[in-house]
Structure 1
Amino acid sequence: MAVRKVVAPLLLLTGLVWAAGYGVKRIPIKYVRTEGVFQYLSKDEIKTALEPLVMISFFDADMQAIHQAVSKLTWVDTVSVKRVWPDAIDIKIREKKPYVRWGVQSLVSARGEIITPKNIEQFSNLPILQGPEQQQLKTLEIMKGVNTALADQSMKMAEFTINDRWAWKIKLTTGLEILLGRNEQLKKLQRFLKTLEVLGPEQVDKIAIVDLRYPNGYAVSWKPDAEEIDWKKVANPQHEIDG
């Protein structure tokens, strides 16, 4: 009899522990909190991605699956997921930031990641970058260097193109096109930019195309209504110009 009196309470205690453990395991997720500054990522996109993964109990939720689902969203750069006792999941998201347009339908972030949004029209103010396939990062780094050189002359780039032969072409927001070829592009660009002080802004505005694919100078195509420059008047001993 003594043994039975001891065993019965033990069985009852085991049953209570099991029931308590089962009850804790079945606690539903009440809160899914997202943290981040979003300009392009919508809360509806996040909700749609998360809904099938969080409509379960707190302990059954798969943090890795949640992380992967959010990471796949177009505008998500980085994401961290944390379970917070007793009934919440915290998600921190950093959004991708577009730097330039890449071709017709895509964008490139400052880190060279391709972004293909549903609506490209809202990014029409960004410069256009075009380059060889799978070379967006290298092309972007070159563009940044060119931008720095142009900024020193208060020039703003609208388009930058590198073709499959790695020849460069720049189009400014003023419409001026600069052809740079495949060799010593930055050196030739710097040489041209130095001559701008001699030409002056009024004369530069008359130029439609500058061809820098020459070893010691450059050729100029004028806008239809522009008068050609008298190169003798702007000659500078330090800057030889082949017009």
Structure 2
Amino acid sequence: MSKVGTKTLVIGLLLAGLVGIIGYKAVTKGHIRPLAIKSVSLPIKYVRTEGVFQYLSKNEIKTVLQPLVMTGYFDADMQAIHSTVATLPWVDTVTVKRIWPDAIDIKVREKKPYARWGKNSLITERGVIFTPNNLEQFKNLTVVTGPEMQQVKVLEIMKGIKTALADQSLQLMEFSVNDRGAWKIKLATGLEILLGRNEQLKKLQRYLKTLAVLKQEQVDAMAIVDLRYPNGYAVSWKPGTEEIDWSTIAIPNNEIQAHEKAIQSR
């Protein structure tokens, strides 16, 4: 390398070092501020709510979400939004996602009440219990009660009972299972039926078979039917009912068999 080239290289290095020293001092003394990259927080302008709503309103969803969407597009806590919507009594499932550049999209599926659970709650066909504010509009649904955490099993039993009663054009209004496992049902006519803890469906079917050979006024006069007997049942009659001579309405065995064959041939 020539002497001229060597001198040029040395001078260049000295100048670079001098600029570095001056720059460092300027920054440390505050004359020059380091470049900082700040994230721009885009505002959320729209909250889109989708779904078929019969009991839940979009305004109800937007009201609970308002504090959560006041942040920016990137700062919004999607998990918090999901959890908040999911806690609304009528919400079955919910999905949440961002829509660029300024929207949040929320898809909601509503719960469908299948029956009432106790006095204050509803239950879906899958056995999900929830408690909305107003139950008045669901007063015609069947009322179901049972042991805690056994609602799915109780609901399946109730469905079988409803089917058996519907075959006789009877409507189930109440079904309960107590802590000892005893069943009790109440029909739309007001009739209460005690089924006990053993072979309940078999006993119910046996009672329903007798309805075909009883007079309607005799059935209507029943207040409580106790099926907790191995081979029959006891009846409590409504007040004012005349004493019934059971010998006049005894059911011959061949009539019961004929009724059973008629049911099987349907």
TM range (shorter): 0.7 to 0.9
Give deviations 1:26-53, integer Å, cap 9, x for gaps.
Answer: 2211111111122222333211221112
Q: Is residue 78–residue 94 contact of structure 1 (8 Å, CA) maintained in 2?
A: yes
- Within 5 Å, which residues of 2 pair with 1:34-73? 34-73=49-88
> Does 2:56 match 1:78?
no
Q: Is residue 190–residue 223 contact of structure 2 (8 Å, CA) maintained in 1?
A: yes
Give 1:90's aligned amino acid.
D
Q: Which residue of 2 aligns with 1:156?
A: 171
- Within 5 Å, which residues of 2 pair with 1:26-175? 26-175=41-190
> Does 2:214 match 1:199?
yes
Once residues 245 and 52 of structure 2 are traced to their aligned partners in structure 1, the CA distance between those partners, rounded to angstroms, is 55
State the shift of 1:228 in Å. Answer: 4.3
More displaced 10-residue stretch of structure 1: 155-164 or 57-66: 57-66
Q: Is residue 112–residue 140 contact of structure 1 (8 Å, CA) maintained in 2?
A: yes
RMSD, matched Cα: 2.1
Q: Which residue of 1 aligns with 2:252?
A: 236
Q: Which residue of 2 aligns with 1:183?
A: 198
Give 1:192's aligned amino acid.
Y
State the shift of 1:55 in Å. Answer: 1.4
Q: Is residue 47–residue 62 contact of structure 2 (8 Å, CA) maintained in 1?
A: no
SS at match of 1:104: coil
Q: Which residue of 2 aligns with 1:211?
A: 226
Once residues 223 and 246 of structure 2 are traced to their aligned partners in structure 1, the CA distance between those partners, rounded to angstroms, is 17
Once residues 228 and 153 of structure 1 are traced to their aligned partners in structure 2, the CA distance between those partners, rounded to angstroms, is 26
Q: Is residue 198–residue 236 contact of structure 1 (8 Å, CA) maintained in 2?
A: no
Once residues 47 and 212 of structure 1 are traced to their aligned partners in structure 2, the CA distance between those partners, rounded to angstroms, is 53
SS at match of 1:188: helix
Q: Is residue 63–residue 81 contact of structure 1 (8 Å, CA) maintained in 2?
A: yes
More displaced 10-residue stretch of structure 1: 117-126 or 178-187: 117-126
Give the structure-1-normalised TM-score.
0.84
Once residues 37 and 101 of structure 1 are traced to their aligned partners in structure 2, the CA distance between those partners, rounded to angstroms, is 22
Identity, in percent, stands at 70
Residue ranges of structure 1 left out of the alignment (5+ in a row): 2-14
State the shift of 1:232 in Å. Answer: 3.7
In the comparison of the two structures, how many residue pairs are matched?
222
Once residues 88 and 69 of structure 1 are traced to their aligned partners in structure 2, the CA distance between those partners, rounded to angstroms, is 17
Give the structure-2-normalised TM-score.
0.77
User: Who wins on radius of gyration, i.e. which is larger?
Assistant: 2
